[in-house]
Structure 1
Amino acid sequence: MTRTVLRGGRVLDGTGALPADGDVAIEHGRIAEVGPGLDGDTEIDVTGRTILPGFLDCHVHVVFSGVDPFRMQHEPFSYQFYAAARNLAATVDTGVTTVRDAGGADAGMKKALSDGLIEGPRLRTAITVLGQTGGHTDGWSASGETVRLLVPHPGRPDMIVDGPDEMRRRVRELVRAGADVIKICTSGGVLSPSDDPRHGHFSPEEIEVCVAEAAAAGLGVMAHAQGTAGIKNAVRAGVHSIEHGVHLDDEAIELMLARGTWLVPTLIAGRALLRDVDTGATRLPPAVLDKARAVTAEHLASIRRAVDAGVPIALGTDSGVFPHGSNLDELALLGEAGLSPVDALRAGTARAAQLLGLGDELGTVEPGKIADLVVVDGDPLDLTGYGKRITEVFQSGHLVRSR
């Protein structure tokens, strides 16, 4: 038995406590002990730095490497899977040790990670994204051509469903394909060419069928929901989390509080997308670009209202819409939305683990938990440039990154 001790630093354990001096001992891939003056067979000096739980990102797309539709039309189908290996490695590099993929990654990618064929964070998968005809997952354009962001394959069912019966069947297909969560679009979106983010999508009955079928298989539902009507319909139907939440009003916030619905803001997504357009890294149709600008202007104010009201927040980024590896830039934006530094960090650790159903194993630095840990240089309560200050990343007690 080898006992490794991270010695000489401080611990910010994710429980809501402030940083305190202490060591962390690791045995058999788990946290064995936390406290001062610990001994081990191997010691790693982290003097002047702080140990935190590994971060969790509750909304990524690992098969996307930016969403330039012109480029994506000319990439071979299998290219996305090789790119995903690079994207997963960039994600763990930045200190994110667990992600929930919100559409794209399939069971094969999850197995490749668990078997050690590729490296990256622990992976929870939605596999595909369900939307209605003319909705956020419909790539139909005015020319009559269709450009799909996620092309179906044997392990990834089609995205478009209409009516309760189709919804029921498609959710069952996703359960069969190994989904850990079901992703549904109850409003329009930005990147889809022919819809409006403010409009609600799917009937209440369709959403209720989705939630019921997922629940029958022990799964929750995450809802892409930007418009107010789509948010309310999703919450009333019993979805587990609202993704984006761009146009929240008081009634929507009250519903979320009453039902314990989580909010995953993805504040960085719109800003990063517009940045990439401005630098020429991404090309978007004018109508899509107009939507991106309009959504970004409203988004932060909406999330501030939710934070003020006490809606439970978990970190998510929509990485893949923009390049992977800047996930922890979301922390500073959560601070802008009104979360304290400790609460913003909890949103990316303990709270995110709770949302994903992993709170018994991950998200805090406590004895018995899996030793997914990061070490950060500088002030751990300074949320700026966080990913660049991560010096070590551990998964199950193994040092996987060291700068």
Structure 2
Amino acid sequence: MGPFQITGAAVVDGSGRDPVDVDVTVEDGRIAQLGASRAHGERLDAGGLTMTPGLIDAHVHLGLSSPIQPQFSFRISAAEIAADIFATAGATLDAGFTTVRDTGGIDGGVVTTIAKGKVRGPRVLSCGPVQCQTGGHGYYGAEWEPTELWSSHHVPGLCALSMMSGNADELRGNVREAFRRGASFLKLCVTGGVVGAHDRLTDTQFTVEEIAVAVQEAAARGTYVTVHAHNNEGIRNAVEAGVRCVEHGTDLDESTATLMATREVALVPTFAVVEQLLHDTAGTGLDESTRDRVLGVRERMTEALAVAKEAGVRIGLGSDLIGPAQDRRGEELKLRAELETPMEALVAATKTNAEILGLSSEVGVIASGMQADLVLWNGNPLEDPELFADPANAVLVLQAGRVVKDLR
């Protein structure tokens, strides 16, 4: 379509500045200008609505869109797994998220299929399979099953949850394989996890030297490593090894936060998944024992957020939702708005996340020249952040200047 103008909306540009009433002209998939334009073309009246940049979720698992335990025990067909992945991709767009970073579980074919427009979904950056140490977080095989059988459960081009490495050389081989399959960054698990089979949150996994191998391989391709890390020792190991980002960060302490700030390592806390596991364990397809593992995590993660903020760490936003119930991705902004301000939550989900993902020249703020990823909200989510949590409030979603959802 030709150039068009969106008029009448209160524009929250993602930079942290207060909303302004300004027209936005969209042309060739980009924001051509802010302010009154002489360009002829369609006018889209958005009176009473609030415009934000398309939201970004820096921690998603599209490949874990089926009930978790049945999927991990290989009782679900590839066709059904694919159907669930594509449904989640569409629901992500409907919730106002135009870009996501998939932190493990999909294989390259999913990224390509969405990018070609064959199914509705956001732009996806993916690490492919998560890199784990033998028997560490991310391994869900039966105890009797030999480790080497684990990757035979991957469905090439669709889902590949994790790869196991017994030492630095195996890790080097595995990360090269992940890049071969189309990964655009790497993710390692360097501590135990909440949804764990064989480990505890207090375990550290991979040595500093091993993590550094992945960092070296990522740097060779102009990209970076992020890590799943809950305990402070694991976080510190990863930071010392040169990673660029930490996911969860539950037990982060002040000295490690200071080190992160000094080395410009970002943090992506994940509150929505904690709420999900506390309140609807069964809905994710996991048993109640998972709930016990998550008790106390919310309080500690809240403290870690405050510690990181105090130290000046760059803090993004990620939901980490798993299982079939991933339609309310905006819950993460609502939860963060309760701990900070709604504006800080929005900036984390737009400008800051774009920086963390290496996309800040393309998306994350509403400015001329940027890609026209835009959401028009029913009402003002800065006054009522509950609006972010309900996809019905994302009245209009534009992705690269194309209307991909319209409830007007």
Pick the TM interval, shorter chain. Answer: over 0.9
| Structure 2 counterparts to residues 92-111 of structure 1, below 5 A | 92-111=93-112
What corresponds to 1:344 in structure 2? Answer: 345
| Structure 2 counterparts to residues 146-295 of structure 1, below 5 A | 151-155=153-157, 156=160, 159-277=163-281, 280-295=282-297
| Structure 2 counterparts to residues 122-133 of structure 1, below 5 A | 122-133=123-134
Deviations 1:2-33 (A, max 9, x none): 21110111111111210011110001111011
CA distance in 1, matches of 2:403, 2:155: 35
Residues 151 and 163 of structure 2 are in contact (CA less than 8 Å); yes or no, is this contact kept in structure 1? no
CA distance in 2, matches of 1:106, 1:370: 26
| Structure 2 counterparts to residues 309-388 of structure 1, below 5 A | 309-321=311-323, 323-337=325-339, 339-381=340-382, 382-388=384-390
Letter of the structure 2 residue corresponding to residue 392 of structure 1: L
Query: 1:134: how far off?
Result: 2.4
Query: 1:383: how far off?
Result: 1.6
Letter of the structure 2 residue corresponding to residue 269 of structure 1: V
Query: 1:287: how far off?
Result: 4.0
CA distance in 2, matches of 1:157, 1:383: 33
Query: 1:68: how far off?
Result: 3.3
Residues 5 and 38 of structure 1 are in contact (CA less than 8 Å); yes or no, is this contact kept in structure 2? no
Residues 277 and 291 of structure 2 are in contact (CA less than 8 Å); yes or no, is this contact kept in structure 1? no
What corresponds to 1:21 in structure 2? Answer: 21
Query: 1:78: how far off?
Result: 4.0
CA distance in 2, matches of 1:375, 1:161: 45
Query: 1:149: how far off?
Result: 10
What corresponds to 1:43 in structure 2? Answer: 43
Letter of the structure 2 residue corresponding to residue 343 of structure 1: E
The one of 305, 308, 329 aligned to 2:307? 305
Residues 130 and 163 of structure 2 are in contact (CA less than 8 Å); yes or no, is this contact kept in structure 1? yes
Residues 185 and 223 of structure 2 are in contact (CA less than 8 Å); yes or no, is this contact kept in structure 1? yes
Deviations 1:264-302 (A, max 9, x none): 10111111122212xx42453454331122423422222
CA distance in 2, matches of 1:129, 1:144: 19
CA distance in 1, matches of 2:254, 2:48: 44
Deviations 1:163-200 (A, max 9, x none): 11011111111111110110100100011112111221
Letter of the structure 1 residue corresponding to residue 395 of structure 2: T
Residues 354 and 364 of structure 2 are in contact (CA less than 8 Å); yes or no, is this contact kept in structure 1? yes
**1:11 correspondence with 2:30:** no
Query: 1:214: how far off?
Result: 1.1
What corresponds to 1:137 in structure 2? Answer: 138
Aligned positions, number: 400
- SS at 1:229's partner residue? helix
TM-score by length of 1: 0.93
Residues 22 and 37 of structure 1 are in contact (CA less than 8 Å); yes or no, is this contact kept in structure 2? no
Structure-2 change in CA distance of 1:293 and 1:38 (3 Å): farther
CA distance in 2, matches of 1:189, 1:323: 20
Structure-2 change in CA distance of 1:80 and 1:149 (3 Å): farther
CA distance in 1, matches of 2:171, 2:154: 16
Letter of the structure 2 residue corresponding to residue 330 of structure 1: E
Counting aligned pairs with the same residue, the percent is: 36
CA distance in 2, matches of 1:213, 1:65: 30
Higher deviation after alignment, 245-254 or 381-390:
381-390
Residues 135 and 194 of structure 1 are in contact (CA less than 8 Å); yes or no, is this contact kept in structure 2? yes
Give structure 2 stretches of 5+ with no counterpart. none
- SS at 2:133's partner residue? coil
CA distance in 2, matches of 1:386, 1:187: 31
Structure-2 change in CA distance of 1:18 and 1:157 (3 Å): closer
**1:58 correspondence with 2:62:** no
- SS at 1:224's partner residue? strand
CA distance in 2, matches of 1:273, 1:66: 15
TM-score by length of 2: 0.92
CA distance in 2, matches of 1:190, 1:322: 18
Query: 1:378: how far off?
Result: 1.4
Deviations 1:226-270 (A, max 9, x none): 111111111111111100011111121111111111111011111
Residues 57 and 100 of structure 1 are in contact (CA less than 8 Å); yes or no, is this contact kept in structure 2? yes
CA distance in 2, matches of 1:322, 1:295: 22
Letter of the structure 2 residue corresponding to residue 97 of structure 1: T
Letter of the structure 1 residue corresponding to residue 220 of structure 2: A
Query: 1:104: how far off?
Result: 1.6
Residues 241 and 261 of structure 1 are in contact (CA less than 8 Å); yes or no, is this contact kept in structure 2? yes
Query: 1:321: how far off?
Result: 4.6
- SS at 1:214's partner residue? helix
Residues 9 and 46 of structure 1 are in contact (CA less than 8 Å); yes or no, is this contact kept in structure 2? yes
